Amino acid sequence: MRIALIDYGAGNLRSAGRALQEAGGSPVVVTDPAGLRGADAIVVPGVGAFAPAMARLAAARLVEPLRDAARSGVPLVGICLGMQLLFEDSEEGEPAPGLSLLAGRVVRLPAGVKIPHMGWNTLEVRTPDAIFDGLPEAPYVYFVHSYVVAPVDPRAVLAETVYGSRFPAVVRQGTVWGLQFHPEKSSRIGAVLLRNLLAQIAALRSPA
Amino acid sequence: MIIYPAIDLMSDSAVRLRQGDPGRRIAVGDDPVALARRWAAEGARWLHLVDLDGAMAGAPRHLDLVRRICGAVSIPVQVGGGLRTVADLRAIFEAGAARAILGTAAVAGDLLPEAIAQFGDGIAVALDARGDLVAIEGWQQTSAVPVLEAARSMAKAGVARFIYTDVSRDGMLAGPNLAGLASLIAEVPVPVILSGGIATPDDLRAAAAAGAEGAVVGRALYDGRIRLDEALRAVTGAS
C-alpha cells in the first residue's frame, strides 16, 4: 500500500515512516501535490503549532490537494498535530483555518494539569471498531500535546483519554482518521493500531 | 512506575561503567541501536540514553547515534550527557529525544531558566549525588552543594522532573540509595526517577513503594539479574 507521508517539517516524520513500514505499508515522503497522485492513503504526521503547520502546508501548495484527495475518498490519517489540522480552526496562536475535513475546533487542555501533556495514558474505547482489534483492556499510548480536538459530531469519537479533561484520542469520520497520541512512539499498542488501521484501509480499497 | 532500560554510549558502542569511572567499563554490546530495539521489543515504555563521551567532553558527541536510536524504536527516549547549551538541547530534540536530561550544566551554569522556558516538561535534571553532595563533571568531581538544597531551588525554578543517582551505587549492583530517594521525594513536589544500583526486582518494588515515578536499570538488565519482562510485571502502571 503506497502511503503518501506528508513532509511539512514535522519532527516525527522519520519515526512515523518507520512505524508505517513496520505495519506493512510503503510510505513515500511527499512534499508537493504531485506526490499525492496514486496514493492509496495519506498520513499527515505532526509535531508543533497549528498556524505555522497550516502555513507550511500552504507554502507547499498542499492544502487544497489534501482536501480534494480526502473528499474524493482517499483514506487520510492525521497523527497528533496532524489530527488537529483535520478540524476547522484552533485556539492555538494566530487564527488560521485548518483543513476543515471534520467539523469542530481545537482547544487548549484545561488549566490545572501540567502542559504539555507528555506521557503514557490509557485509551477508553467509546465506539467499538476494528482499529482496536487485539488490544488489551485500557491500552497505554504515548501523548505529547497541549491542545485537544472538540468535534461537533460526538459520533466521530472512537476512543477518549482523560488528562485534565476527557478528550478524543481517536476520531473517525468516513475515511478520515485522527489519532491524538503518537502510535509511532506507543510501542506494541501503537504497532497494533497502525496495522489494524492499514488493514481497514486496504479492505476499503479492495472490497471483497 | 516506569522502567527505563539504560544504554550508555561510549566510542559508538554501548557500555556500563562502575561508579561512572571510564577506566572501569563493561562492554554490553557493539550495537546500541540493536540494544534499543531489543528493549523496546521486550516491552519497555521508555529508554534512558546517556552520551558518556558527551558527558566527559561537556558537549554532545553522539548526536547521529541518538538520531538513529530514536528513529529505530517505537517508544520515547530520554537523553543526557554533555547538554550544556540551548543549542545542544535543540539538537537533541531535533535528533528525536522526547526528554533531555541536564546534569552539570543545570547545577553549575545558567542554562536552567532558559531551558525550562523553552522546553518546559521536556527537561529533566539529573541529580547526581555522592553522599549528600552533588557530583559534577561526568561524576569525576564533587561539588560543595547539598543535593536537597539543589533540588529545592531547581524545583522552585520550574524543573518538572528529577533523575536521582547515587554515583557510589551506579553500576555496582549493591542496591539503590532508597533513603536518599525517600528524602528527595519528600523534599520536592515533582516526580523523581531513581537511577543507580538497582540489582533485583525487589529494588524496583522498593523504589515504587517509596514513590519513584520511574527507575533506570542498567547493568542488572545486561547481566541478567533482572529480566525486563519480570521487572515490568513487578511494577505495573505508567505515567
pLDDT for position B239: 40
The DSSP letter of residue B159 is -
pLDDT above 90 (res B234): no
pLDDT for position B141: 67
Cell numbers for A40: 492509496
pLDDT for position A43: 98
Minimum mean pLDDT range among A170-174, B96-100, B115-119, B135-139: B135-139
What's the rounded mean pLDDT across residues B119-130? 90
Residue B2 sits at the chain A interface (C-beta within 8 Å) = yes
Locate the DSSP E strands across chain B.
2-10, 13-18, 21-29, 47-51, 77-80, 99-102, 123-130, 133-136, 141-146, 162-166, 192-195, 214-217
pLDDT band at B133 (very low <50, low <70, confident <90, very high): confident
Provide the chain B residues 62-91 that lie in CB contact (below 8 A) with chain A: 70-72, 74-76
Cell numbers for A204: 476499503
Minimum mean pLDDT range among A64-78, A134-148, B21-35, B224-238: B21-35
pLDDT band at B137 (very low <50, low <70, confident <90, very high): low
What's the rounded mean pLDDT across residues A132-156? 95
Cell numbers for B72: 529505530
Minimum mean pLDDT range among A74-83, A152-161, B36-45, B101-110: B101-110
pTM for the complete prediction?
Answer: 0.84
C-alpha distances in angstroms, B126 versus B90, B109, B217? 18, 14, 15
Residue A14 sits at the chain B interface (C-beta within 8 Å) = yes
In whole numbers, what is the pLDDT of chain A averaged over residues?
94
Q: Which of A63, A71, A62 is nearest to A34 (CA)?
A: A62
pLDDT for position B238: 42
What's the rounded mean pLDDT across residues A3-32? 92
Cβ atoms within 10 Å of B183's Cβ, excluding its own: 15
pLDDT for position A84: 97
Contact A50, A80 (CB under 8 A): no
Exactly one of A92, A145, A160, A182 is catalytic; which is it?
Answer: A182
pLDDT > 70 fraction of chain B, expressed in percent and rounded: 92
Chain A residue numbers touching B99 (CB-CB < 8 A)? 118
Quote the minimal CA–CA distance from A176 to chain B in Å: 23
pLDDT for position B140: 62
What's the rounded mean pLDDT across residues B140-163? 87
Chain A residue numbers touching B159 (CB-CB < 8 A)? none
Contact A18 B43 (CB under 8 A): no
- ipTM for this model: 0.75
pLDDT for position A128: 93
Q: pLDDT tens digit string along B174-233? A: 789 999 999 999 999 999 999 988 999 999 999 999 999 999 999 899 888 999 998 998
pLDDT > 90 fraction of chain A, expressed in percent and rounded: 85
Best interface-test mutation with B: which of A113, A123, A142, A163 has the largest number of B CBs within 10 A?
A142
Q: pLDDT tens digit string along B58-75? A: 899 999 999 999 999 999
Chain B residue numbers touching A145 (CB-CB < 8 A)? none
Residue A124 catalytic?
no
Q: pLDDT tens digit string along B74-96? A: 999 999 999 999 999 999 998 99
In whole numbers, what is the pLDDT of chain B averaged over residues?
88
Q: How many residues does chain A have?
A: 208
Quote the minimal CA–CA distance from B117 to chain A in Å: 13
